[in-house]
A and B are shown apart, each in its own frame.
Chain A
Amino acid sequence: MHNLGDIMETIRMIQDDNLDIRTITMGISLLDCCDTDIDASCRKVYDKLCRLAGNLVKVGEDISALYGIPIINKRISVTPIAMLCAVSGGDPVKYAKTLDRAADTLGVNFIGGYSALVHKGFSAGDRELIASIPEALSVTEKVCSSVNIGSTKAGINMDAVALMGKAVVKAAELTAERNCIGPAKLVVFCNAPEDNPFMAGAFHGVGEADCVINVGVSGPGVVRAALQKHPDADLNEIADVIKKTAFKITRMGQLVGTEASKRLGVPFGIVDLSLAPTPAVGDSVAHILEEIGLERCGIHGTTACLAMLNDAVKKGGVMASSNVGGLSGAFIPVSEDAGMIRAAREGVLCLEKLEAMTSVCSVGLDMIVIPGDTPADVISAIIADEAAIGMINSKTTAVRVIPAIGKEIGDELEFGGLLGSGPVMKINTQQSPSKFISRGGRIPAPIQALKN
C-alpha cells in the first residue's frame, strides 16, 4: 500500500495547485504530402492529418479520465509549411486554411507549423510564406506560426529579422478588432527546437520521425506550494525542493506520454518539462520567484532567482523521463502569468529586465503587449537583441510581442483563456534603430571558444 502522505500530496497537487498535463502534441511530417499542384497538396495534408490524428482528442480524454489528471490541450505540429510551398508554389494561405479545417475536424486546440526556417537564408517558398503570415493568422483560428531567424551555428539572418518586424505589425493590424490576436500566434525564434510541443512555436522538425507524440507538463503552482513549506530554508535546500518537485511533475508527463503513444500506436518523442504558467491564481512562475524571497518579480535579484529555478527544474526533470526535449525550462509569458501581469502593471517589471531574464531561462520575450504605434524597425531590433542572446549563449530564445493597435502605455489588452491579458508596456522608442535594421545581410555565427 502506498504511503498516505504521498497519496495526499499527489491529490493536493492536482486539486489545489493546478498540476496538469498542459498538452499532448502529435508531431506529423507532411513531407510526403508535397505536390506540384497546391490543391492536391492541401488535400493530401488534410487526409494525412485526419488519418494520423483522428483519435488524438479521444485518447487524450480517455487517459485524462483513466488517471484522473487534467489534460488541457491536444495539439498538432507539422512540418514547416514553407517546405511544401517550395514544391507547390501558389498562395500559402491555402495551407493555413487547410490546417485550420483539419484542426476543426479533429477537435484539437491548436495546430502549429505555419513556419519557415530561414536562419541562414531564404529558399524557395520561404519569402512567400513569411509574407502570407499576417493574412494566414487573420483568416484562421487555430493555426500557429513561427519563423526561425537565427542559430548559434548560422548567425542571424537580418533580412528575415526586418521582414518579421513588419509581419508582427501587420498581423496586429489585420486582427485589430479581435484584440490583436494575430501576433499572439506568431513566434520568432533563434535556435528553434524541432520537438517543442508548446504553442505558438511548435513545428515538426525535418529530423523527426514521421509521427511522434510529445508531451508538455506544467506546474508552477506545485513548485510554489512545495516552497511554501520551507520558509526558512537556504538556497541549497530551495534548489533541492524544486528538483524533487520537478521530478514528480515530469514523471506524470512520462506516464501520460507513454500511455498516449501506446494507444495511438505512435512513437513517444519527448517530455518538455517546462514550468508553463496560466493566468489562474496560484499558477504563476513570478509567484515562485516571490516565494523564494523577492517582493516582486522584476526587481534586482530576479535574474539570479530565475536562473536557479530554471536549472533546478531541468536537473529534477531529466532523471524523471527517458527523453527530455523541447524548450524545457521556466516560461515567462507576461500576459499568461498573474504575478507578471501585476508586476508589469505596477511598472516594476520592464522590458529591459525581461530581456535580461531571458538569458537564463527558457524561451524569451513572450506575450508582451507593446504600444500599437511601435515602428516595425523597433520590433525588428527587439527580435535582433533577443536572437543575439540565444545565438551567443547557445540557447533557444524567441520573441512574441503584441502591438496593441489603438492603445497606449498603461492600457490593457484582453485575450482571454490561456493567453490571459496584459498591460501595454513601455518600450524605448526615443531614438531609432532603422539604419541598423535596414542594412540587411547576416550577423555572422559566433566563435565557440574564448568564452568570456
Chain B
Amino acid sequence: MKAIISVIGKDTFGILARVSTVCSENFANISDVTQSILQDMFVMVMLVDISHENCDLAHLRGDLNALAEELGMQINIMHEDIFNSMHRI
C-alpha cells in the first residue's frame, strides 16, 4: 500500500530532511522523490510505502500537518489509489 506526499511552499533549508524524518519516525518507507522549484515555490512529491505494520496513516497525517504548520507550507498525503483511478484507465 503506497501513499503520495506532496509538499508545496516557499523554498527553505532542510524541507526534504524534515519530511523524510517524519516519514521514518512513522515507519513510512520512501520509494521515490521528485522535486522542482518553480518561481521560488518548492514543489516536492514523495511516493511512500505505508504497509509496514507500525505505520499508522492517521498518525503520519497528523505529524505532517504539524510540520506543515511549522514550515508554513502545504503538505498533503493521499493514498496512491486515488491517483491511479483518476488518471489511469
Contact = CB atoms under 8 A, between A and B. Distances in A.
Contacts of B76: 11, 15, 68
A2 B82 contact: no
Interface string B61-89: 10000000000000011111111011100
Contacts of A255: 81-82, 85
B45 A7 contact: yes
Contacts of B61: 65, 68
Interface stretch (A23-31, A169-177, A246-254): A246-254
A254 B85 contact: yes
B4 A7 contact: yes
A1 interface: yes
A227 to B, nearest CB: 18
A3 B47 contact: no
Interface residues on B, range: 20 to 34
B83 A7 contact: yes
Given A65-B57, A248-B87, A4 B36 contact: yes
A67 B43 contact: no
B53 interface: no
Interface in B34-48: 34, 36, 43, 45, 47
Contact of B79 (A15, A67, A248): A67
Contacts of A252: 82, 85-86
Contacts of A7: 4, 6, 45, 83
Interface string B18-58: 00000000000000101010000001010100000000011
A11 B87 CA distance: 13
Given A11-B6, A65-B58, A1 B83 contact: no
A15 B34 CA distance: 21
Interface of B: 4, 6, 32, 34, 36, 43, 45, 47, 57-58, 61, 76-83, 85-87
Closest 8 CB pairs of A and B: A68-B78, A6-B87, A255-B85, A251-B85, A67-B79, A248-B86, A1-B32, A2-B83
